[in-house]
């Protein structure tokens, strides 16, 4: 996947169609300073924008391979464009995540992209581990690196809420102790 080309095309289309989005996943974690390899792109999009999103992805040569209430998965015919996944925001917490996404510049300040804040990325990682325990090694590594880099600026109350939603209070206590969160 050519991340620069795909990012440019998607961001132009998102702006033209007023798609409410934020970057998530490995690419987003990398923009917050965590060295992380990834082979696809992941976004959080408002569920109300899915029809417009389908039009964008089809026009760019992607085919919808899977859709559920919560996610859409697109694959391009040409390997240059790779795979793009979308998490659908329609519940309170994910809609709030979208509203509070940060703007980051990428590719030598050529583009501006909306990216979930570190604590919201951590929340999605906690959810991913709750949904699939086999993801824990990679997701815990991402969580700990985000905390190591941004621990003093994180909203620990919000992280505690995410842990509570997914019955991970022990994880929250251990992380808070390890990263000396005094909030």
Q: What is the pLDDT of residues 27-71, one digit of tens each?
A: 999 999 998 877 789 999 999 999 999 999 999 999 999 999 999
Question: Options 1.10.10.60, 3.90.170.10, 3.30.460.40, 3.40.50.2300; which CATH number does 3-116 get?
Answer: 3.30.460.40
- In the prediction, which pLDDT does 181 show? 61
- In the prediction, which pLDDT does 146 show? 96
Question: Low-confidence residues of the chain, pLDDT below 50?
Answer: none
Quote the pTM value: 0.93
- Find how far residue 124's CA is from the centre of its chain: 7
- In the prediction, which pLDDT does 148 show? 94
Percent of the chain with pLDDT over 70: 98
- In the prediction, which pLDDT does 182 show? 62
């Amino acid at each position: 996947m050519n991340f620069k080309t795909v990012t440019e095309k998607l961001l132009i289309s998102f702006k033209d169609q007023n798609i409410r989005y934020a970057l998530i996943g490995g690419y987003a974690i990398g923009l917050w300073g965590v060295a992380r390899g990834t082979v696809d792109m992941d976004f959080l999009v408002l569920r109300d924008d899915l029809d417009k999103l389908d039009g964008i992805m089809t026009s760019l040569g992607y085919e919808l391979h899977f859709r559920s209430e919560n996610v859409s998965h697109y694959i391009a015919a040409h390997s240059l464009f790779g795979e793009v996944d979308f998490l659908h925001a329609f519940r309170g917490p994910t809609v709030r995540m979208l509203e509070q996404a940060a703007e980051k510049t990428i590719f030598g300040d050529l583009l501006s992209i909306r990216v979930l804040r570190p604590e919201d990325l951590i929340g999605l990682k906690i959810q991913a581990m709750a949904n699939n325990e086999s993801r824990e090694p990679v997701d815990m590594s991402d969580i700990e690196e985000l905390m190591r880099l941004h621990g003093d600026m994180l909203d620990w109350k919000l992280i505690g809420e995410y842990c509570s939603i997914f019955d991970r209070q022990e994880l929250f206590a251990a992380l808070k102790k390890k990263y000396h969160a005094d909030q």
